[in-house]
Structure 1
Amino acid sequence: MKLAKIALIAASPGSPPPPDVLPHPEKIFIPLDGPWGRAEAQVAPGQTVEAGAVVGRFQDPRLPMLRASAAGSVEGIRTVNTPDGQKAQAVVLQPLGDGAPASQAPPQGAAPVALAKALTEAGFAETDRHPWPFPARICSPETASEAFQLTDAPFHNPIETLIINGLDRQPGEMVRRTVLGHLGSFVVQAVAALKALSQASRVVLVYDRSAPPGGELLRSLQEQGVDCRGLENVYPSALTPVLVQLVTGKQVPQPASDPRLVGVAVIDVTTAWQLGRFLTDGTLPLEILVQVSSWKSGLHRLYRVPAGTPLEPILAAANAAPQPAKIVVGGPLLGYAQFDRQAPLVASDFVLVQQPDEVHTYNYRACINCGHCVPVCPMKLLPNELGKLCEYGRFHDAEAQYLAHCIECGLCAFVCPAKRPMVQLIRHGKREILEMRKES
C-alpha cells in the first residue's frame, strides 16, 4: 500500500504538555442519536441528575448507555447540530458546578462476560467510526456469544491481533501522543482486560517513532507481553484499514471496513486510557480530550472536558480568534467545517481554527482529468470519477464504482489542482444512497 507523504504544519515538537482541565460549561448536550439509531430519553425536564446517571438507553442492551457527564438540572430535550453536519435530539443539562468525576465500583477480577457487560453499561464513546460498539467488537467469539448473543460473521472469527493505536491520525495532531506521554499508566492498566476480552494471541501498541513514549511506559507494556512498534506516521497510516495492513499485512474487506473479518481488532489509545482509568478506580468514561490548534498563530492546546461540551467554551478557553474564517472539527483532512459553535463534542477530537488567508474558498471548477488523485488513494479507487458521478447525481453508478470503499481520508482533495471538494461530494453521494435505501 502506497502512502502519501504530505507536508503540513506539525504541532509543537517534543513531548506536548499535559492537558488542562476546563471548568464545566454553562450547558452540556448529550445526543440521543448516533450511528446505531436513537436512544430513549430516561430523564425529564426539570429533573436533577448526578454525574454518571443514565440519560439515554437503547432498546438493544448490547448498545452503550448514555450517561450525564456532569451533575446538573435537565433543561429539556431539543434538536442540536452535530459536528458532522447532522441534526440530533439531545438531552440538555445545566451543570451544577465542577463536581468530582463520576465513578462506580470497578469490575476488578471480573470474568470476561461480566466485564464486557460492565463496559457496555459504562458507556464508552469512540473517536473513530466502527461497525460495532465497544466492547462487543473486541470480544472473543465465546464472550461475544455469551454476553451479547453475537454469533454470526464477523464474531465467529477469533481475534488473532489486537492493535492499540497510539498514532495521531493527522498531521498537526497530538492527542494520542499526549495520552501516551501523560496518561500512559492507565493504558498499562487496560492491557490485562483487553487480553481477557479478546483472547488475542498478540497485542501490539503502535506509536509514532519520531516521538516515542517514555522508556518506562514501553517497558511496563512489554512486561505484559505487548509488542511495542514505532512506525513512521505518514498520513493516512493511522486510519484503521491502512494500519491493519501495515501491522499484519492483511487487507480489511471493503465496504464493511471491519478488521474483525481478518482476525484483527483495533482500539484507540484514548479509549484504552479511559478503560484503564475505569478499571483502576471506577471512573466512568465521561471526560474527553480536545485539541485546539491554529497554525497561523502557532496555537496548540489540549483540554479535558466533559463529553457533550459545546465548541464555544473550548474555543474561548484556548483564546482562539474571535472571528475565525473557518472552524473544522475532526482535523484538516478528516474533519467537518462548522456553522454552529454550540455543536457538542462527545468523543476526543481535534479542532482546527483557520484564518482567512488559510482557507481555500471553493469556486466551481470542473474536473480537469489530471489524474493526480488516483495514485494517492490508499484504497486504489478513482476519486476523480467518483466525484463527478456524485456531483451529477449518478449515485448508483458511483456505488458500482466502489463508492462505499472510500475511507474519506481527504488525500484526493489535498492534491487536486482544481481545488474540488472531493470528500464533500463523496460524502454527499454516500448519504443519498443511504436515504434511497431507507425510502425503498
Structure 2
Amino acid sequence: MSLVALSVFAIFAIIGTPLAFAIGLGALAALVYSGFDLVVVPQRMMFAVNSFPLMAIPLFMLAGELMVKAGIVDRLIGFANSLVGRVHGGVAHVTILAGMVFASVSGAAVASASALGSTLVPALRKSYPDGFSSAVIASAANLGPVIPPSNAMIVYALMAGSSVSVGGMFMAGIVPGILLTLSFMALASFIAYRRGYELSGTPFSFRNALIETRRAGLILMMPVIVVGGIVGGAFTATEGAAIAVVYAVVIGLFVTRRLKISDLPGCLFRAAVMAAMVGALIAFAALVTFVFTLDLVPMRLSNLITGFTEDPVVFITLVMIMLLFVGMLIESNAAYIMLVPLFAPLAIQYGIDPLFFGFLFMYNLVVGMMTPPVGVLLFVMSGITRVPMSVMTRESLPFVAVQFGMLGLCIAFPQLVLWLPDFFGF
C-alpha cells in the first residue's frame, strides 16, 4: 500500500499537480488498491483538521495580515533602524531585525516574506543588488517559524501528541532564533564588506532610539503578552492567537490609525486562503499517515533503524540527513503530518528528549523553505522582486549554510535548545 501511495504521489507531483492533491490522490489510490472502504477518507480528513489547537494557525496568519495593514511593520522597521546604526549591511540588518520582531507575532515565513518584501524592497534596492536584497528578506522571513509563536511548532506538537507541548516548543526556539538572527546579521555585514557595498543605515542616536522604542512600545509588547501568556499557562495557543488578532485591530484602529474597517474583509480573505492551503495539506497528508499505519510502516521503520544502530547520535544524524532531502522536495507542513508520527516515537525509544528532537525536526524542515527545488520562500521572493530563481538560489546559499551551521551547533550543544524549556519546567 505504501509503495502505491508514494508512486502515485510522485507521478502527480512531477506533472505539476498541487502538492496537497498529489498527496491525497496517492493515499486514495493506495486505499482503492487494498480494497479498503472509502468511507474512511472523509472521516480521516475531518478528524485531522477538527482540532482546537490548529485554529491558532489561521488566527496568527490573520494577525500578520492586520499588522501589515495597520502600519505596524513600518514602526518595527523604524525601531530596528534606530538600533543598527551606520554599518556595513545596515539596511540588511534593519531587515533582519524587523523580520525577527515580526516573526514574534506572525509565526509564518510566507506571511513575513510578503510583509517585509512589500515594505523593504525599495530601501534595499537603493543599497544592494536585487539578488542579495531578496536573499536577505527570505532569510529574515525564515525566522518566522523558528521564533515563537510558530505555526510549524504548533503543527509539530499536534502531530507528536502528548510527548511535547506547544509552550515547550515555543521556549525551545528562542535562544536558537536569537543566535540565528545575529548570525544572519554578521553574514550580511561580511558580504556587504567583501563586495564593497556602501555604508548604509541611519547613524545611531540614543535620542532617536528612545523615540522609536516609544513609538513601537505597544507593538513590542504584543509578543511578550501572547507568548508569555501561552508559556505561563494563562491561555492556550489558540486563545493567544485570538488575543494577537484583537491586539492588532486595536493598535491599527486607535494607535497607528492606518487600519480601516474596509480593510478587514481583505485581511480575512487572505488569511483564509493561506489557512485553507495548510488545512488541505494536513487533511490529505493525514490519509497518507493512515495508509502507513495500515501497512505497519512505523513498526517496520522502528525495527529497521534499531537494527542498524542503537546510538542516539547516529539516529539523529540519519534523520537530519533524511530531512535535508525531504525539505528540498516536499512542503514542510505535509512532511510534519506524514513523518512526525513515524519518527517522534522512535526518538523516545532512543532516549532523546522529545522537545530537543522536535525542535531539530522542525528547524531542519524550516531550512528546506529556502532550498531548491521546492524552496517556497525563494518562489515568493522571486515573484515579488522579479529576480530569476537561479540568482535567488545563488545569493541564498550562504544564508542556508548559516542555518545548517546553527542546526549542527544545536545538535552539538543541546542546552541551546533545552535551557529555556527546562527553566520554565517543560
Q: State TM-score, norm by structure 2.
A: 0.26
Higher strand share: 1
Give the TM-score normalised by the residue count of structure 1: 0.25
Judging by fraction of residues, say which structure has more helix: 2
> 1 or 2 for the larger relative contact order (CA 8 Å, sep ≥6)?
2
